[in-house]
Amino acid sequence: MKKIRLAAVLVAAALTVSVATPLLAKDKEPDAGRLLTGKVSDRQDQALPNAVVYLSNTRTRAVKSFIVGQDGVYRFPALSPNADYEVYALFNGKKSDTKTVSQFDTRATVNINLRIDMK
């Protein structure tokens, strides 16, 4: 009788652990961070292929760069939600305005289009 109770307790404990483990693990998933996307274009909204987009973490001053393709689109994934960023583009010696991504902006995906005046 004691062996049956012990076996029942062990089975119940194993079931509890097997059900609770995935629930706890779901809360511990790493944060994928934010995604910054956008397009580099001129004033006539024409894509500027091969423009270089620079992204700077204002806290650490670490800089990332991205060379846009023919469509002018750039993408910076997995950005820390706890940092501010500055982003701008360069094309043939011309620079866009510098835009800021704030840590207080809670959107998972931030879209910032950068325009360069080619005159």
Which two structure tokens, joined as six digits, stand for 113? 């289009």
| Block residue for tokens 């998972």 | 108
Domain ranges for the chain: 1-30, 34-116
Query: Is 117 in a helix, a strand, or coil?
Result: coil
pLDDT at 24: 47
Q: Using one digit for the tens of pLDDT, what is the confidence trace for 74-91?
A: 999 999 999 999 999 999
CA distances from 22 to 18, 19, 27, 36, 90 (A): 7, 6, 9, 31, 47
Region 89-94 average pLDDT: 97
Report the mean per-residue pLDDT for the chain.
Answer: 85
Region 51-72 average pLDDT: 97
Whether this model's pTM surpasses 0.95: no
Give the C-alpha separation, 72 to 96, whole Å.
13
Return the CATH number of 34-116, one of 2.60.15.10, 1.10.3720.10, 2.60.40.1120, 3.40.50.2000. Answer: 2.60.40.1120
Q: Using one digit for the tens of pLDDT, what is the confidence trace for 28-54?
A: 445 679 999 999 999 999 999 999 999
Query: Is 41 in a helix, a strand, or coil?
Result: strand
